[in-house]
Amino acid sequence: MNGFHIEIPNQKTGFVPGETIDGAVSWQLDAPPRQVFLRLFWFTRGKGAEDMAVVSEILFDDPRAIETRLFTLSLPQSPYSFNGKLVSLVWALEAGAKGVDAVFRQEIVMAPFGKPVDIT
């Protein structure tokens, strides 16, 4: 069974702009993949077309089928996570491997005080 997991100490999900995220990516796959990735990105959710941008990506070379790797990512200064009536902006970390259908997504908040801006 193929699967990925992202672990952030204390299960923290709220971060401020410019903060560093330290954590670990674990995976258990049927066979060693060529490469495992961890992406930091944001996307919009709600009415209209979805926007999305990958802000950074870490590639783990020569992975084993079952492994855990540590990571450090620096958050940018913007855009902030926000909740609106029609659309919201959500930040996330996503782990996966090229050629493997399974991915794991961990949603996070990136805004002042570590809480989404309410624009309703």
Q: pLDDT digit string (tens) for 55-91?
A: 999 999 999 999 999 999 999 999 999 999 999 999 9
Domain ranges of the chain: 3-113
Q: Average the pLDDT over 91-113 and give the result.
A: 96
CA–CA dist 5, 10 (Å, integer): 15
Contact 54, 42 (CB under 8 A): no
CA–CA dist 72, 79 (Å, integer): 20
Q: What pLDDT is attached to residue 1?
A: 76
pLDDT confidence tier of residue 45, bands split at 50, 70 and 90: very high
Q: What pLDDT is attached to residue 120?
A: 83
CATH 3.90.226.10 fits 3-113, yes or no: no
CA–CA dist 94, 54 (Å, integer): 10
Instruction: Return phi, psi of residue 10, to 5°.
Output: 60, 20
Beta-carbon contacts of 62 under 8 Å, excluding residues fewer than 6 positions away, are none
Q: Average the pLDDT over 42-60 and give the result.
A: 95
pLDDT value at 23 more than 90: yes
